[in-house]
Amino acid sequence: MAYIAVGYEKCDIERADIDIFDTFRCNKDDEKAVSMRAYMRDRFLFLGIYTPRRKELSRRFFNTVKKTDLDWDFIFNCWQQPEREFQYLAKEYLAKQKANLTASDILRLRELAVQTRGQGLVWSEEI
């Protein structure tokens, strides 16, 4: 699956479609990243994308994703990124795909939770 997002004004890339990971990185704000990291007591790296902007960027991406396919490679790829916004992206993706979750996914969800322990990512009732 290609993780394509469309039309991001802040990126200095000539093509119309770019990877969601590139999209987030192109929209980073180093000053905000410093304050976000400080707020979280230097426990996480951030791109400096506040929630409203992150949701705007991810909304465009989610509009291109099939709602019938649960892509665990994408989720784990997000989870492995050093910046916190990608874990939030994975969490939003899971929330949008909750109808496709089955009992067989419990072990994968557990693996994410174990990796998250001590990192402060709170699972909400969205999932």
Q: 68-93, pLDDT tens digit by residue? A: 789 999 999 999 999 999 999 999 99
Rounded Cα gap, residues 84 and 51, in angstroms: 11
For the chain, domain boundaries: 4-116
pTM more than 0.75: yes
Q: Which residue has the tokens 């290609």?
A: 2
Rounded Cα gap, residues 32 and 1, in angstroms: 31
Q: For residue range 6-45, what is the model confidence (pLDDT) as tens digits?
A: 444 556 444 445 699 999 999 999 999 999 999 999 989 9
Q: Are 92 and 124 in contact (CB under 8 A)?
A: no
Q: Does domain 4-116 have CATH number 3.20.20.60?
A: no
Q: How far apart, in Å, are the Cα atoms of 44 and each of 27, 91, 118, 119?
A: 18, 16, 11, 8
